[in-house]
A and B are shown apart, each in its own frame.
Chain A
Amino acid sequence: MTALLATEALSVSIAGKNVCEQLAFSVNRGERWGILGVNGVGKTTLLHTLGGLRSPNQGSITYRGENITAIPAPRLAQQRGFLFQDFNDPFPSTVMETVLIGRHPHIKSWQWESADDVDIANAALAEVGLSDLAHRVVSTLSGGERRRLALASLLAQQPALFFLDEPTNHLDLQYQIQMMQLLTERARREDAALIMILHDINLASRFCDHVLMLFGEGKTAAGATETLFTESTLSELYRYPVQRVDSQQQRLFIPKIR
């Protein structure tokens, strides 16, 4: 089976800073990848590069064996979707209108949304628990509700590859777990893959089966969470001593008290 996404000799830099050098890794259907690293190491830059929003300095990215530069933008948008860190909307629009934005790549420019599109949007709203707010104006929603709305938009886009920039941003503990479970379930059900930037080591440990670590100055490590999540690697990654604590059901990683 060809990988959903694969990189070869990928080098990315931003403002003279190396994010990754000669990176080769692949993401298969059903996998959940976490991108980890300290602030400013270039996680978002790499995520945008992998999703085709900016060009790499060197190397190639392929989706199902096809070079990303050869895929026209509208078709690319049917294959991969983004959840961005923040979104601001200076103009009013309703919750429903915002979810339907996700259907844009699937509708020809002269067509209107079909009944199917509306059904998909309603299903997405139901998944994130916003069905009751469908006709509300977005500016009246709370930060957490907007985050879930952005996710609903992405779900309506129905991509095979989900690029998620800090998906749990602005969310309470309960919704953090809910969102991660929802994404996990979605990846399993649709055989999709998740690539997400996470700040919480323990969320990554629990919900990601693979991780891509950015150590800075181009150094990276990619592989199974099981093997890469050790005290020494995490301490190096976060430039701060991390301690492993095993509770009954799960292992936890916490910052050591120095």
Chain B
Amino acid sequence: MAHRPLIILLALSLMALVALFLALSVGSVAISANDFLAVILGRGDPLHDQIITELRLPRALGAFTCGGLLALAGVLMQALLRNPLADPYILGISGGAAVATLIAITLGVSGILLTGSAVFGALLSMMLVFGLAHGQGSWTPTRLLLTGVVVAAGWGAVISFLLAIAPQKNLHSMLFWLMGDLSYVKTYWPGIMSLAFGLGVSLIISRHLNVLLHGDLQASALGINVARLRISLYFVASLLTATAVTIAGSIGFIGLIVPHLLRLLGINDHRLLLPSAVLLGGALLVVADTASRVIIAPQQLPVGVITAMLGVPVFLFLMQRSGRHP
């Protein structure tokens, strides 16, 4: 019993490593385990070496980071809003990023400026929702949720408008961005760093989160400054989401499903749930991204399609089997 958390984390880490190995070896040029080992030892075929280190590794690590960020943000959003249906995008952060990016694509912007506009849009939406929900009076989960959902709906309308007036040549890249796309990942360090930062901060407050799930009154009766905890949660979760969105657009399902998958497996304690979510979210997105580039190769599918196709049946199966509400 005492070793259970360790076993779970080891199993999930192993899973993540297998997923990464898969992502590095599978593709239009298949690389066998032996060749793969040779590359790692620095004695590999130069072509294999180039494919792995320059093409597949950044993408695989980008996918892992992005999945980890989304799953972590999902757990935090669900605790912040005390709502099992919350996902990282529920408060409109991805909507704001999407609107800014689509406008940038329409204006013909590309490269680093595109990332910049996604960051700008995400931060704008974050401050907008925070300001509006804070307003006067109390900052309750319900008020925050309603504000976020309404702002997200507003962004949704602007996105539809931008798609409707977009010239044909831009439409494809716009749709790809909206459904999530990992093919533009070049550098992965900023993502990994914000993931490490986010996980570190949330692990410090993880036992507080366990208490917060039992309600605001109970949490303050047990000595927690609920208002301060909520504000920190809001900013950490939002920044993690914003980072994920700028890496790969909005990839659905990971942030909603991963926390629940783990809860269905009986992992409720945030001290275990948070790191587990990072590992499982990362592994799932790596697998989904690998699938997205091989299923109809040489064409690529938006990875969001795969996460939904994998996530929905697995989730429904586990929920049926466990027979209790998520």
- Please name all residues of chain B whose beta carbon is closer than 8 Å to the beta carbon of A74 when the two chains form the complex: 223
> Is the CB–CB distance between A139 and B324 below 8 Å?
yes
Other 8 A-B pairs with CB < 8 A, given A78-B223, A101-B210, A110-B204 = A51-B221, A82-B217, A89-B213, A89-B214, A92-B326, A94-B268, A104-B222, A109-B207
- Check: A140 CB closer than 8 A to any chain B CB: yes
> Is the CB–CB distance between A77 and B223 below 8 Å?
yes
Query: Could you tell me which residues of chain B, from 50 to 86, have a CB within 8 Å of some CB in chain A?
Result: 78, 82-84
- Check: B142 CB closer than 8 A to any chain A CB: no
Query: Could you tell me which residues of chain A, from 61 to 113, have a CB within 8 Å of some CB in chain B?
Result: 73-78, 81-82, 84, 87-94, 97-98, 101-102, 104-105, 107, 109-110, 112
Query: Could you tell me which residues of chain A, from 199 to 231, have a CB within 8 Å of some CB in chain B?
Result: none
Contact size range, A = 20 to 34
Give CA–CA (A48, B225) in the complex, Å: 15
In the complex, 19 of the A-B residue pairs with CB atoms within 8 angstroms, ordered by the A residue number, are A73-B223, A73-B224, A77-B223, A82-B221, A84-B215, A84-B218, A87-B214, A87-B218, A91-B84, A91-B213, A97-B269, A101-B214, A101-B218, A102-B222, A104-B207, A104-B208, A104-B224, A105-B222, A137-B324
- Check: B325 CB closer than 8 A to any chain A CB: yes
- Please name all residues of chain A whose beta carbon is closer than 8 Å to the beta carbon of B218 when the two chains form the complex: 82, 84, 87, 101
Closest chain A residue to B323 by CB distance?
A140
Closest CB in chain B relative to A9 CB, distance in Å = 25
Give CA–CA (A84, B218) in the complex, Å: 8
- Please name all residues of chain B whose beta carbon is closer than 8 Å to the beta carbon of A112 when the two chains form the complex: 271
- Please name all residues of chain A whose beta carbon is closer than 8 Å to the beta carbon of B82 when the two chains form the complex: 90-91
- Check: B211 CB closer than 8 A to any chain A CB: yes
Closest CB in chain B relative to A42 CB, distance in Å = 16
Closest CB in chain A relative to B243 CB, distance in Å = 25
- Please name all residues of chain A whose beta carbon is closer than 8 Å to the beta carbon of B213 when the two chains form the complex: 89-91, 93
Give CA–CA (A78, B263) in the complex, Å: 30
- Please name all residues of chain B whose beta carbon is closer than 8 Å to the beta carbon of A89 when the two chains form the complex: 213-215
> Is the CB–CB distance between B268 and A97 below 8 Å?
yes
> Is the CB–CB distance between B224 and A91 below 8 Å?
no
Give CA–CA (A88, B83) in the complex, Å: 12
> Is the CB–CB distance between A90 and B268 below 8 Å?
no
- Check: A168 CB closer than 8 A to any chain B CB: no
- Please name all residues of chain A whose beta carbon is closer than 8 Å to the beta carbon of B221 when the two chains form the complex: 51, 53, 77, 81-82, 84
Q: State which of B208, B210, B217, B222 has its C-beta within 8 Å of the C-beta of A77.
A: B222
Closest CB in chain A relative to B120 CB, distance in Å = 34
Closest CB in chain B relative to A55 CB, distance in Å = 13
Query: Could you tell me which residues of chain A, from 142 to 164, have a CB within 8 Å of some CB in chain B?
Result: 157
Closest chain B residue to A107 by CB distance?
B207
Query: Could you tell me which residues of chain B, from 187 to 242, have a CB within 8 Å of some CB in chain A?
Result: 204-205, 207-208, 210-211, 213-215, 217-218, 220-225
| A92 and B324 in contact, given A82-B217, A101-B214, A102-B222 (Cβ under 8 angstroms) | yes
